[in-house]
Structure 1
Amino acid sequence: MAPLLYDRVLAACNAAGVTLNIVQEGNSPTTILSLVAGGIGLSFTIASAARTKPDTVVLREIEGLRIKIDFFAIWRDDNKLPALHKLIEVVRKQPARNLRR
């Protein structure tokens, strides 16, 4: 889990009165799912992990837990791939915030 997301999850849990006992950490949704499948407690992961979860693992949405994450598109200015430029056109149509361009 990225440091910013990690901090936001901990803050949300603390705000809800939940204290976590962290015994193992994973650096990818696949690793986290494997740890849980192996019996290493409970974890938080992203919704898209549901596509690759083992049959023995249960994923449940946590009602009321909303953590805002900002995503940005980045690319090299000198990249001339036509498919990239089509994607850039789509991205540029989105509202921009905190961007230099």
Structure 2
Amino acid sequence: MKKNYFDLTKEEISDYTKEFKKTEGGLIIHNHRKKLLSVIISMFFVFVFATMLSEIAIDIASNKEVLIVTLDYVSTFLSAIFVVLLGYLIIYNIYVELCFLGWLKNKHKILKW
């Protein structure tokens, strides 16, 4: 029976998602997503800490340019890494959704459109 993905109820989508997570590919994708999310959250906290540290250093040692510039570079570098990881997470979530939709199409004959 062919169905449309958008005709499914929230409960049906939840059931299919649970079933997909039990497959081998679903387990791998789910584990990678959890690890990636934990890395991004920890990088966010490191970025916030480095930003706060650079602001405190500006207040304390306003005459020591080297310290301020170094901490500013570290903060900028950490923010760049955070933005790149966040972009990777967005792309990875799109990949996960496409894998899930492909699995629905192949296993349950449910089309996206």
Q: Could you tell me the TM-score, scaled by structure 1's length? A: 0.20
Between Structure 1 and Structure 2, the one with more helix by share is 2
Q: Could you tell me the TM-score, scaled by structure 2's length? A: 0.18
Which structure is larger by alpha-carbon Rg, 1 or 2?
2
Higher relative contact order, structure no. (Cα contacts within 8 Å, ≥ 6 residues apart):
2
